[in-house]
Amino acid sequence: MNVHNFPNMSENIKRNIAEIKSIASYPNVLEPPHRKSFDRGVYLFQSITKSMIDIGNSIIIAHGYRTPLNTADVFISLAEHNVISPGVVPGMKKAAITLPKIKSQPDAELVTVMTSCIDYFSQCLGAYDTYFKKKATDDSGGT
């Protein structure tokens, strides 16, 4: 991940977050006719979570930060270096921990997790935006 391809990825993630937020607002999202929307929401949740982990790992590697013990630890490592706020860590860890067991989670529980992670996704993405804007400024010599 670099400063040149982050803006496009960020825009895609923002659209996906907005779509999950919309899906989560449906009453009875697990019932027809919204069931297909729920399935789409699960897919978007997975996609966003993977992207956030990948972006975080790229920042960690670029700076030689402590190697994360697992995917959830990516966000702790980033918070240790003030890339993201420590307040974002619990929600991002929840998303990362849910990811590998998503198929075994009860649907109602997934709705709860997805809904609770939406704001954390936005906050983490905002921190990534700040990081890459600063990096772009630093790389251009401050001009």
Q: Exposed e or buried b for every residue in 30-55, given b needs 16+ CB within 10 A?
A: eeeebeebbeebbebbeebbebbbeb
pLDDT for 1: 67
Domain 6-137: give its CATH superfamily: bsu32300-like (1.20.120.580)
6-59 pLDDT, tens digit each: 999 999 999 999 999 999 888 888 998 888 999 999 999 999 999 999 999 999
Q: Is the pTM of this model over 0.85?
A: yes
pLDDT for 60: 97
What own/partner pairs with CB < 8 Å and gap ≥ 24 does 72-76 have? Answer: 72/96, 72/97, 75/124
pLDDT for 4: 79
pLDDT for 124: 98
Domain boundaries, the chain: 6-137
The mean per-residue pLDDT over the stretch 104-109 comes to 94
